[in-house]
Amino acid sequence: MKSTGIIVEYNPFHNGHLYHFTQSKETSNADIVIAVMSGNFLQRGEPAIVSKWARTKMALLSGIDLVVELPYKFAVQQAEIFALGSVYLLNALGCQSFCFGSESGEIDTFSRTIDILEINKKQYNDNIKKYMQAGNSYPSALSKSFQDLGLGAKYLDLSKPNNILGYQYVKARNNIHSKMEALTISRKNANYHDEEFSSSTIASATAIRKAIFDDNDTTKIQQYIPTATYNEISHYQETFGILHQWELYWPYLQFKLLTLTHEEIAEFYEVEEGIEYRLLKAAEKSVSFYDFMNNVKTKRYTWTRIQRMCVHILTNTKKTDMKNECKYPEYIRLLGMTENGRIYLNENKKNISLPIISKLSSFQNEALQLDIKASKVYALALKEPARQHLLKMEFSQPPIQV
């Protein structure tokens, strides 16, 4: 069976994701599609609006054949590490190709850009340092440094979020010497960060989440999501009483910050360059998470980077937890599969280079403990007995089968 891989968060699964999935399968001529999906906390430092189990079911009911979890150690990370962990898992699962959405839509531009940046590596890195020292955020420094090279239109626009991720995916593929073919398709209608609806059927996940929380009415998003997604969101609300968002975790984050010293806050992963003083000062005077973020944000620190810091503080993830010797994922956490997915695993299990976990009790690993801890913290947003119900799922839920 020929397989292609996609790297996703599905927060939530929407019509744009459905388009990406169908185009990926068609472009790659694959029999099955394997998704590497972030767990309960996401790359931009946010809690997913519904659990990884609910998002897995959305994906399977919409046609994805196999869903595996990207470990916390790689999921709540800047683009380069996020990409490395994701691509490594797809390669370990035996994918012949992987496909991602991009603003470019032309795969050759990614290879050309990687090659030209290697040739201009010293100048590029020197420019990044210059812009960082001038107070720019890391993504902004990357974009400005690339523009300074004056390379022209045949190279990537690295100011676009999906181009940046795609660049890191292809670079990761090259770095691990994988034979997977890299494919890309153009994003359709909505941009990654769009907060408003600009099409009758396609909207960004950002716009969908904003509509859910601003209006507290999921019926307004029905035209932008598959029926399976709408049903799962509705079922999750009925079962657990909420949809997850940062404000629900704000009391825990504020308590944590107010009970620690500057030195203790500085031990958390991604807390650098004295920002611990700003974090503590903001925690003392802020009345909500949104208020806190506005009090912390600077030109140098993006909203996304600060949110990731906050996730690591919330989950008590220290620099020492993330910077151990393991550079790549060490296991495959299986979240769900269709019958085709099950057949694929059975046919290829001898060639899959990592242990596959379907029950937590069957495997012990330091990085896996970070996943478990993150799931425990994620459940804090719920009231009893819903909290215990979600916690038990982390340990007792077998891979979802559709």
Q: Which residues are annotated as a binding site?
A: 7-20, 101, 162, 187
Contacts of 217 (CB under 8 A, 6+ apart): 211
Question: Residue 255 carries which side chain, given as an amino acid letter?
Answer: F
Distances (CA, A) of 398 to 34, 359, 386: 18, 7, 19
275: closest CA among 315, 302, 245, 248?
302
Main-chain phi, psi angles of 36, to 5 degrees: -95, 120
The residue behind tokens 């998470």 is 289
Tokens standing for 370?
A: 């970070």
Strand pairing class (400-401; 332-337): parallel
Q: Specify whether the backbone of 63 is left (phi greater than 0), alpha (psi in -120 to 50) or beta.
A: left
Whole-number Å distance between alpha carbons of 188 and 182:
19
Could you give the CA distance from residue 350 to residue 337 in angstroms, rounded to a whole number? 18
Binding-site residues from annotation for ATP: 7-20, 101, 162, 187
Give all strands (DSSP E) within 113-171, no chain letters: none
Cβ(193)–Cβ(6) below 8 Å: no
**What is the DSSP code (8-state) at residue 152?**
-
Query: Would you call 3 helix, strand, or coil by DSSP?
Result: strand
CB 130 within 8 A of CB 162: no
Q: 185-190: long-range contacts at Cβ-Cβ below 8 A with a sequence spacing of 24 or more? A: 185/20, 185/23, 185/24, 185/27, 185/99, 185/100, 185/101, 185/102, 185/105, 186/101, 186/102, 186/103, 186/104, 186/105, 187/16, 187/101, 187/102, 187/103, 187/105, 187/162, 188/16, 188/19, 189/16, 190/16
What are the residue ranges of helices labelled H in 182-331?
205-215, 227-240, 250-258, 262-265, 275-285, 289-296, 303-314, 319-322
Q: Report yes or no: 308 and 270 within 8 Å, Cβ to Cβ.
A: yes
CA–CA dist 347, 1 (Å, integer)? 8
